[in-house]
A = this chain, B = another copy of it.
Amino acid sequence: MTGQDATARVRHGGREARRRERSHKATGLGRPYITRNIPTYDIMSEENLVKIEAAADRILAETGIEFRDDDTSIELWKRAGAKVDGLLVKFEPGMLREILKSAPAEFTQHARNPENTVQIGGRNVVFSPSYGCPFVMDLDRGRRFGTIQDFENFVKLAQSSPWFHHSGGTICEPTDIPVNKRHLDMVYSHLRYSDRPFSGSVTAEERSEDSIDMARIVFGNDFVDQNCVILGNVNVNSPLVWDGTMTKSLRAYARANQAAIVVPFILGGAMGPVTTAGAIAQSLAETMAGCALTQLERKGAPVIFGNFLSSMNLRSGSPTFGTPEPAIGSMVIGQLCRRLNLPLRCSGNFTTSKLPDAQAMTEGVMSMLAAVHCGANFLMHSAGFLDGLLSMSYEKFMLDADLCGALHTYLDGVKIDDNELAVDAFAEVGPGNHFFGCSHTMANYETAFWDSETADNEPFEKWEAAGSDDAATRANRLWKQRLREYEAPHLDEGIDEALKEFMAKKKASMPDAWY
C-alpha cells in the first residue's frame, strides 16, 4: 500500500471496509475457522516416534512429576493407580494413554455469535492473538506497560480482522488494574468488544471460576455445562513440576466441562535438555500428565495438547525464538499428538526482535509456518509478539494478521478441476500471447491470488514517490485506521448489565492486590 492509497483508505474508510468484506466473501477466505486442505508435514519415522514415546514413558515411570500445593490432584492420581510418594507422582507406562482415551479428539467451542463458533481438532485450524505480554509497543510511543485500553484495542483490532477466529485471552496484561481483579475486565472486554470465542484467566482457581461464571451469564448455566464456551491456558512449571495454581485452574475448567490447554514451556538448556529429542520427550511426558488430570477431574472434558519448545543462545543465556530447532521439533510434536488423538496447540508467531523488522518476520514466519505444518488446531500466539514474547506490538499485530490471511490461502492447497487446470485457456491464448483478457482470466480474476494489505507491490519509483515507507510504517497507519473504523458487535443490554453487575460485586468483595 502506498501513502496515497492509505490516505484514500482513511477518507473512504467505510467504503473500503465494505469492499474488503465483499472480497473476503467472494474468495471464501473470510470464515469462522480453517479446515485444512493440505496434509500435515510428518517428518519423523514411526520407529523414531516410538523411541520418543518410550523415553517419555521412562521419564514418567522413573523420574516422575511433582504436583505441588494441590492435595486433590495427589488424591486423584492415587485413586487412578499412580505411584505417589509425597508430592512425587510416577506413572506406569501406558497408564496416561489409557486415561486419555476419554478425551475428545475434536470439540466445538461456541462463540456468542453462532456464526463464529469454531471446531477445534481434526483438520481444523483456529488463529488466536498472542497471549501474556506485560508490555505493549507501537512506533509512536515505544515500549510501555500494557493497560486495559491497550487490551481493548487489541480485542477490537482482532475483531476487525477477518483472519482471526478467536478473540484470545490475556492479549496483554492490563497492568493498570489490580492483579486480583483484572481477569474480570479482560473477560468483559472479550465478551463486549468481540463476538468470537475467547479464553479466560487461569492465574488463580477463583479467577478461573469467575471467568467461567461470566461466560455462564452470556451462554446460560445449562448450556455451559454441556458445551465448551471458554478455554483456559495452563502451564507446566518445567521440568516435571505442576504447581497447584495451575492444576487447580486446570481442574476448574475441566470441572465446568470447559477446555484446558496444557502447555509446558521448555527453554532447552534451562527447563529441559539442550537436545531437541529430549525436550520433545519431556514435553510429551508433562503434557500427557496434565491432559490426563483433566480426565480424572471430569471424564470426557475437552482438553488441548499444547507445546512450546524454545531454544537458547548458549553464549548469553538469552532465550531465542523462531529458530530452526523448535520449528522442526514442532512437526514431531504434531505427529505424537495425533497418535494420542487429541487436539493440538502449537507455537505461533515468535521472535526476540524488539522492532517489527526483518528479524521479527524471519523468526515469526519460520515459527508460524511450523505451527500450521505440524497440524496445530489452535494457534494461541498468531499475532502481535515482539521482544522475546514480552511485548505486544500494534504494528507487528497488523503484519501478523496479514500473514494469517495468507495462510488461509496456503492451507487451501491447490484445487484441481477443469476450471483450475485451465486447459481450454491455452487453446484460446496460444503460444506467445498473454492471458490478461482471456475468458479464463476474466472468469477467475476476482477470486484469484491472495491480496496482502500490508505489502507494497508497486514499482520502486511509485513506492519512492509515495514516501519510501517500510512495512512497519504502513502497519502503523493501518492499526489506527482500523481502530477508527471499529464498530462493536451487538450485545444484549440485559446481558451487558448482568456482566457489569457481576464485575462490580466481585471487585467490591475484595481489596486490591498486586500479585
Interface residues of A (CB under 8 A from B): 38-39, 41-44, 48, 51-52, 55, 58-59, 62-66, 88, 143, 237, 239-241, 268-278, 280-282, 311-316, 318-320, 323-325, 327-329, 331-332, 352-366, 369, 373, 387-388, 390-391, 396, 399, 402-403, 406-407, 409-410, 412-417, 419-423, 425-427, 429-436, 440-441, 444-446, 448-452, 454-460, 463-464, 468, 470-472, 475
C-alpha spacing A413/B331, complex, angstroms: 10
Q: Are A457 and B358 in contact (CB under 8 A)?
A: no
C-alpha spacing A120/B70, complex, angstroms: 59
Q: Pick from B43, B274, B276, B451: contact of A315, CB below 8 A.
A: B451
Contacts of A360 in B (CB 8 A): 358, 361, 471
Q: Are B463 and A324 in contact (CB under 8 A)?
A: no
Question: In the complex, which residue of chain B has the Cβ closest to the Cβ of A276?
Answer: B414
Q: Are A51 and B352 in contact (CB under 8 A)?
A: no
C-alpha spacing A446/B329, complex, angstroms: 19
Q: Are A406 and B323 in contact (CB under 8 A)?
A: yes
C-alpha spacing A44/B37, complex, angstroms: 10
Query: Which 8 residue pairs of A and B lie closest in terms of their CB atoms, listed nearest first?
Result: A278-B422, A240-B431, A273-B422, A274-B448, A359-B471, A324-B410, A277-B420, A365-B365
**Known contacts A358-B399, A373-B41, A463-B354; A435 and B272 CB within 8 A of each other:** yes
Q: Are A357 and B357 in contact (CB under 8 A)?
A: yes
A265 → chain B, closest Cβ, in Å?
Answer: 13
Q: Are A320 and B455 in contact (CB under 8 A)?
A: yes
Q: Pick from B41, B280, B435: contact of A239, CB below 8 A.
A: B435
Question: In the complex, which residue of chain B has the Cβ closest to the Cβ of A431?
Answer: B240
Contacts of A407 in B (CB 8 A): 324
Q: Which of A59, A276, A363, A472 has the most CB of B within 10 A?
A: A276
